[in-house]
Amino acid sequence: MSKHKIKGNVVTPMRVIRDGEVCYQTDGSFSRITYVGTQKMDDGDYIVYDCSGSFVAPGFIDIHVHGGGGHDFMDGTVDAFLGAARLHAMHGTATLLPTTLSCPDEELFEVFAVFDKAKNAENDGAYLAGLHLEGPYFSAEQKGAQDESYLKLATTEHYNRIIQSGGDRILRWTAAPELEGGMELGSELKKRGILASIGHSDALYEQAIEAYENGYTLLTHFYSGMSGLVRRDGLRYPGLIESGYMLEDFDVEIIADGCHLPASLLKHVYRMKGAGRVALVTDAMRGAGQTEGETILGSLRNGVTVYIEDGVAKLSDRKAFGGSIATADRLVRNMINLASVDICDAVRMITMTPARMVGLKTKGVLAAGFDADFTVFGDNVEIDMTVSNGRIIYKRK
pLDDT tens figures, 321-331 = 888 999 999 99
Can you give the pLDDT at residue 54? 98
Can you give the pLDDT at residue 53? 96
In the predicted model, what is the mean pLDDT of residues 108-122? 96
pLDDT digits (tens, 9 = 90+) for 151-161: 999 999 999 99
pLDDT tops 90 at residue 300: no
pLDDT tops 90 at residue 332: yes
pLDDT band at 318 (very low <50, low <70, confident <90, very high): confident
pLDDT band at 345 (very low <50, low <70, confident <90, very high): very high
In the predicted model, what is the mean pLDDT of residues 108-127? 96
Q: For residues 159, 160, 166 and 167, what is the CA-based torsion angle, rounded to 10 degrees?
A: 140
pLDDT band at 257 (very low <50, low <70, confident <90, very high): very high
In the predicted model, what is the mean pLDDT of residues 282-311? 91
Can you give the pLDDT at residue 299? 84
Instruction: Say which residues have a Cβ less than 8 Å from residue 394's Cβ, sequence separation at least 6.
Output: 89, 90, 383, 385, 386
pLDDT tops 80 at residue 41: no
Task: Report d(CA 239, CA 97) in Å as an integer.
Answer: 28
pLDDT band at 132 (very low <50, low <70, confident <90, very high): very high
Contact 156, 186 (CB under 8 A): no
Q: What is the pTM of this model?
A: 0.97
The residue that leads in pLDDT, 40 or 13, is 13
pLDDT digits (tens, 9 = 90+) for 161-211: 999 999 999 999 999 999 999 999 999 999 999 999 999 999 999 999 999
Q: What is the mean pLDDT of the chain?
A: 96
Can you give the pLDDT at residue 297? 87
pLDDT tops 80 at residue 85: yes
Domains, the chain, with CATH or none: 2-57+380-395 (2.30.40.10), 60-361 (3.20.20.140)
pLDDT band at 142 (very low <50, low <70, confident <90, very high): very high
β-pair type (71-72, 93-98): unpaired
pLDDT digits (tens, 9 = 90+) for 21-34: 999 999 888 899 99
Strand partners, 128: 96
In the predicted model, what is the mean pLDDT of residues 114-135? 97
